[in-house]
Each structure stands twice: as C-alpha cells, then as structure tokens.
Amino acid sequence: MPHPEEDLLAILKKKGVDFTASLPCEKIKTLLEMVARTFRHLPLTREEEGVGICAGAALAGRRPAMFVQSSGIGNMINALLSLTAFYELPLALFISRRGFYKEKIEAQFPMGQKLPAILAGAGITYSKLNTRNDIGSVERELQEVFAKNRIHAFLMSPEVWEGSECESIKVDAGSKMHDESKKADPASCIGHPLPRPTLTRYDIIKIIAPYLEGKAVVSNLGWPSKELYNIKHQPSNFYMLGSMGMATPIGLGISLTSSKEVVVIDGDGSLLMNPGTLATAAYAAPKNLTIIAIDNGAYGSTGNQPTLTGACVDLEAVAQGFGFKKTIRVWSAEQINEAMKKPQEGPTFVHVLAVPGNKDVSNIPLNHLEIKKLVENFLRS
C-alpha cells in the first residue's frame, strides 16, 4: 500500500535531518503535518526568514531541511546565494512543484515552469521527484548535502502523493486564539486571549459588501477572492490569483497614486508574510486606505494550517506598533456594520476576528489580464 510521505520521512531520519521549517502548500498538506509531528519543526511566515533560521541551525551543527512551494523560491534566492551558499552551509530544499502537473491556478505557471532554469542559473543543484518511485533517489543527494555542505533542491511533483494512504489530520486552526481559557505557553511567547468569533470570512465579506460599492478593492488570493467575486463582483475589484503577501502592498500603491477610496481585504497569513508594509503604510498615511484584516488564525487557501495569530500575535497591536493611529477590532455583524458605516480618514486598520472555513464557491471566470484591464479602467476614469 502506498505511503510516499512515510517513505520520504524515513529517508530524512536515516540521513540525520534534525531541524525542519516550512510554509504551507495544499499539495503537500499531509506531508507537512507528518513532518511537524516527526521532527523539530518551525512554521515560517516567509521563505527568506527560513533560509536565515536554517543557516543558524546549520552553524550550530544541525542538519536542516525546508519545505516550501515553488513560488516561494522567488522570495529566498538572494538569501540562498549570499548566505547559505556563500558560507557553504548545508540545506535540503523540498519544493512542492506547482504549475505543470494538473495545475488549476494559472498564476503558478510562470514560476513553476521556470524553476529548473532559475535554480540552474543560480548554481543550485536539483533533482526531480516526478513519481513516488523517485523518492529513493533522495537518500543519495541528502548524503551529498551534509557531506559537502551544499544546497540541493528536490522538486516534488503533486503526482508523487497521488494514491497515498497516509491520512491527514484535522487541524483545529485558530482555537487557541479565540479561547480565553487557553493561552500560549508563557515560556515561548505572550498570549493574547481574544473574544470568540462566530463568523466565517464569507459571512464577513457579505456584511461589508454594500460598503465596497464604487471603491477600489484589493482582495487576498485564493478563497477570499473567489468569495468576493461570488458576493460582490465589480470592475474595481482586483482579485489576486498569486503572490501571497502582496494584497496590502498593492492596495497601498493604489491609494498613494489614485484619489479613489481603496479597501484591502487581507488575511492573517498574508499579513504575517510582509508585516513591514504596515509600517510603510502608517508612514505614508494615505487618507483613502482601509485595510480589513480578516483573521481566522489559519492559512485558509492551503488547508487551514494554523498561523501564528492563533498563538501569540495580535494583529491590531502589530498595526499600532507600526504606527497606525486608527485601528479597531470587531467580531460580530453589528460591530462590523458600525465600523464600516463610520466615515474614515485613513489609513485605517480593521482587525476582524473570524473562524476558519471556506465557502464552496465557483472559480473566478476571468483571467488575470481581464481583471487587470477592468481595474485599470476604473482607476483611470
């Protein structure tokens, strides 16, 4: 019976891997859950930080491995070359390769298809795991990684996991954040007990939809954009199809160069990837910008893996710390309506607590260029 995840982890243990870090990808959801249960493991907010953390672990004598998806390589290539490769440190990269095998998200194609050439141009060796029969080759390459202190990337096709009988576990994302009786371990971080919400992201978008009329709206990628399209499609909506972490930066750019009112529908996982943008937004202080941070304590588009807002991160406090003068936290329909009704002179940060979950809605029937053209026409009118 096929258990490719177990086969891969057995090789990692055999070759002495003893420190792992990851960002989520729906295609390797079960693998990541098993990695977290098997090894010392650290969930990341951005791929580049993982390179630095693994470099430190390697300096301390550990044998690190990172698990990311192909799009994340673009966020880490400089650190890989100027830190890991430059100091001749070992790092095994296990990359969920997107954009070629039964891929449904077009934004995954550019990076996924060019990844081998990018790695080759960077001088990073790689091998392709196209089926579970290729897993055995990992042992030989891992031996080289740690014997010769080098980087090697394993490009893992989604086909590797097809038919696997390893079972995924149910992730109770967000429960820690929304239960006042449960706090983060004080030895690890400061917990921020928050009220327990009852609304999903879809419920929240339905409530705010009337207030989005005629405004430029930048929506976080994946399910948030699909839900927004299903509830309140308008030509001024910029639906993100890729580039996680870029919703607030895009909205900030629009607000600084347009007189239109701008609303960003962002998420906790996305904001944790580029929190520094909140500092830039607070400094630039565009009056026409509202950021609605729907915080469900989960990476909703990749399988509801928990984010760090479920343990020790208070996004409203983060925004305040970066300099936002106007922030508000809401979690009920009444509070959300009240916040949206108030005339706002931004920048404003609205922290909306939510429960994890995605609404089963259809895909957006527009391609990326159609989305761009509609938004361009709106902004330039």
* Domain 4-161 grouped into CATH 1.10.10.60: no
pLDDT at 184: 45
Q: Are 273 and 331 in contact, with CB atoms under 8 Å apart?
A: no
Confidence of residue 45 (pLDDT cuts 50, 70, 90): confident
Among 49-58, 143-152, 304-313, 324-333, where is mean pLDDT lowest? 304-313
**Domain boundaries, given as residue ranges, for the chain:** 4-161, 201-379
Tens digits of residue pLDDT in 194-225 = 788 999 999 999 999 999 999 999 999 989 99
Q: What angle do CA 371, 282, 107 make, to 5 degrees?
A: 25
Q: What is the pLDDT of residues 70-122, one digit of tens each?
A: 999 999 999 999 989 999 999 999 999 999 899 888 889 999 999 999 999 99
- b/e string for 207-226 if b means 16 or more Cβ within 10 A? bbeebbeebbbbbbbbbbbb
Average pLDDT for 40-58: 89
d(CA 317, CA 315): 5
Instruction: Name the pTM for this structure.
Output: 0.79
**How far, in Å, CA of 335 to CA of 337, rounded?**
5
4-161 and 201-379 share one fold: yes
Residue 188: predicted pLDDT: 62
Q: For the ranges 42-46, 205-209, 234-238, 291-295, which has the lowest average pLDDT?
A: 42-46
User: For the structural domain made of 201-379, what CATH number should be given?
Assistant: 3.40.50.970
Read off the pLDDT of residues 305-327 as tens digits, 9 standing for 90 and up.
Answer: 888 888 889 999 999 999 999 99
Higher pLDDT, 175 or 61: 61
